[in-house]
Structure 1
Amino acid sequence: MLAIIAVLATACQQSGNGTLQKSIARSIPEENLGIAIFAGGCFWCTESDFDKVPGVISTTSGFIGGTVANPTYKQVVVGNTGHIEAVRIEYDMTITTYAALLEAFWPTIDPVFKGGQFCDIGPQYRSAIFYLSPEQQALAEASKAALEASGRFEQPIATEILPATQFYSAEEYHQDYYLKNPLRYTFYRSNCGRDDRLQQLWGDEH
């Protein structure tokens, strides 16, 4: 049985009104479809970063880990629902692996910052890896341990490894925000100091 899914290719198409759009849908066998959930601060940025990773075919911005059903962005951003901004990733397991996605994730975040990510402060913006199986948990813990053992950072790795709970998609205007609103997105990302901090932490790896 085939799952019809939107391809998030590294190259995007240009629409008639000048807005960047993701490329057309294709089908892959469901047995080749993998799911991963990562939280790296602002989900606009995490979505943008993972759309560039080969093998990723779908990204959805949303919320996970809280206690309120069907939360809205306005509820989550206040920090009272317990949710974290996160991105649900669908990927083609014949092209990439969960371990490879973990390796792609680390250089997109500040893994030693406990209070959020970059200019976004609060528990709703903290970094986390949400595992969906014992295998994902083991891979995530091994990846974190390897980073800690590398000696790259003096501070402990603050990124949490947590069991996945109900994931709620954010409102439509948040989906593909960096494509729909490229100027606002670029201004936000630059003003937040995200890439400057990533350059300090990771150099050319980010």
Structure 2
Amino acid sequence: MGLRACRGCGTRVSTAERVCPNCGVDDPTNRRRIGCGAFLLAGLLILGYSYLAAPWRWTGPSPPPPSPGPTQAATIPAAVPAVGPSDPNQEQARVAFRVVLAHQVPHAFTLADLQQAAGAQGRIVYRQNDPKDPQWVYRWSGTDASYMLATVRPSGFIEVQLRTAGDVVVTFNNTGEFYCDPLDCRARR
């Protein structure tokens, strides 16, 4: 322990004593320590309560979104008008819509996912330039899907026929209708 000078009489007094034994004056440093500690404690309590009452507080992780069941229809965005490709042998269909029977090809939810499952290179196998019903038919083949045909019309209607490795044929379109054989399952949006 150290010595300090008394503020009343100036004599050297031990820091452990609260009152000067010579003149009886209190030590102001002890009162300052208690006052500062109380002030800091009150400040921390105010900050803690304001954090708990704030609207931006952390509420924990959000629950994961529900995964679509095998027969649950997924949300399909509105049809986007397709424009005929300028060079049909180089173009690939770029249409984002949900596959209703996604369990037939695991992790396939868009046409791009099906293209990847069926092989990266799709080729146009049929092109009809009929003014009443022009269409382009794309074909892919690969390991997860025996083949996939996508018919794209400028009106925005797209129909995809997919034969999985298990010989299940799934036909669906971007309006929410689908059916599959030999399971004979049918659904309408």
Do both share a fold (TM > 0.5)? no
TM range (shorter): under 0.3
Relative contact order higher in (CA < 8 Å, ≥ 6 apart): 1
Name the TM-score, length of structure 2 as normaliser: 0.20
Q: Which has the larger radius of gyration?
A: 2
- Higher-helix-fraction structure: 1
Name the TM-score, length of structure 1 as normaliser: 0.19
